[in-house]
Structure 1
Amino acid sequence: MVLESISGFYSKLIEVGTEKYSHKMEVEHIKLWNKSFLSLSLLFFAIAVSDFIYIASLISYCFFLLSILFFYVVYTDLKFNALAQTFAYLLLVFIFFYISSHTGLASGIHLYYIPLILSLPYFLKVSRNKKAIALICFFLFFIVFLDVKTNSFEHPKKDMIFLESLLGSIGLVFWFIYFIIRKQAISIKFYKKKVEMWVREAEIDMDKLKEVIDMAVQNNSHFFPKFKKLYPYFCERLVEIQPNVVASEQEFCAYIKLGFTTKEIAKFTNSSIRSIEGKKYRIRRKYNIGEKVDIYIWAANL
């Protein structure tokens, strides 16, 4: 019963924020981010407990703070905000410097800087955040220089803290490697599906496509069944993203997929332009399509 409750709570945490996205790849990426930050929170919590029991030093509270911080991040969109990410890196550097100043250089707290530097170009895209990365690197090297020059303190349990720092930094490196591998695996999986879809569409018989277009123009009742045979993947994706989509909405999306304008759809279906615009608006809402996103490009890429 306890394990089931924990499992249920964990599943809910992993799903936090996924309701804002309709594309399955984006949902999987959000889940991965949540899993990663939860594992970081647990890692720092384990280090904090270890410090509290075996070392009984002030640093346990710093690691407790980091544990709470990463747990909180799961519930927010801050993990995708470049400014928040920059601040988080600067805060981590300062916290590790603070811990090092209270435990001494021999405690090996500086080992935590290794996974920090390794993850920097990956989490903060180099092409978009050059200034932020430069600021973090400058601050980090300044802090390390300051620590080396001014820190002469030696903690009585420095060997135990060094072992903990070594294991903690190795754990962070493995966490980072796992995150990269899983993120790449998710992207590859969905890009393969995308390629398969493009291949299928490239192999579509032009005569059959012309037949479907003619049926749409004539408002033939067999239009949508024929369309589904020609574009099965498109219809599957519509249902996969939004399971409660009805047949009439799928048929409307079929017109969009074929590139018909609002006026053309209104003419073919004997509807008013306002009615068709209303349907487009409802499709945008149902599938979370932003105002700046061209609905025809969205349908083409689905």
Structure 2
Amino acid sequence: MPAKSKKSRKAGKLSKSKSKSRKSTKTSAKKKKPTSLTVDPVQREAARSRALETRLYFQLADISNKKVQLQRAHDLQANAEAELQNYKQTMEEVSAFTTWQHEHTVEKLTDRLRELTMANASLTQERNDLQTKLDATLEESKSTIAARDAEIARLNELIKDSYYKYERMFETFADRLMEKLTEEWESEKPFLQDLEECTCAEYMQCGLESCKTNTFLSLSSSLHNVFFKETYLFSEFNTFNGILGNTQKEIKANPFLDQKIQMYEKIHVLEIIQQTHPYHSYILSYQYLDHLLITFQ
């Protein structure tokens, strides 16, 4: 039961104080009333009825106060029960919401974990594929590099052999050419001396006109001989040039061979020939240099 209100407490105190005052007045009246006096029964009944009415009034007031307190207690109990019910419903809703949120979070995390697992698996597969391709590419590159190294080594050997072969060919051709030119020049020396002596003698004997005629005829024959010799030398050079042309075709067919280096090497060989055989070497050197420059442009 709820505690009593302030009004009910005050009403109880007043009723107790009034009952005490009534008891004190009764005792004082009994003490003061003389024994000789007599009380009228009607007055006595009237006083008793007034006392009963007063007591009944206060009891009714106390009862009404108790009813108010009881009603208030019932209202408070109903409010408390309603609040408790609301609290229970709220807690159930909160618990249900918390459970749903937890389940939803767990479901989302599970889906995310599944997606990450699938992505990780796909990335691992892609990495393995790329690693396989990279390994294959590396092996192919290594094999290609090894093949190119072997080709470069073979071409270097070919360059060395070609250089030595060209050098020997140039030396042989230059030696043959110089021998031929030296022999021809040595054979022409007596003819020129005879021509000079005959020209001087005819000039002294026959005069200027006959000397000119004989000199012209002699020079014509000499020029014819020289032209024939130059034609022979040019045919020899064309033969050697044909050999060089075939070799240059082989060089052009090979993409790893540096043609300019070969040109510089051949020019260096020609310079060696010029330094070794300076006499009549310009016939070979300048024609061959022009041919090289036209070929390697």
Q: Shorter-chain TM-score category?
A: under 0.3
Max Rg structure: 2
Structure scoring higher RCO (CA < 8 A, sep ≥ 6) equals: 2
Structure with greater helix percent: 2
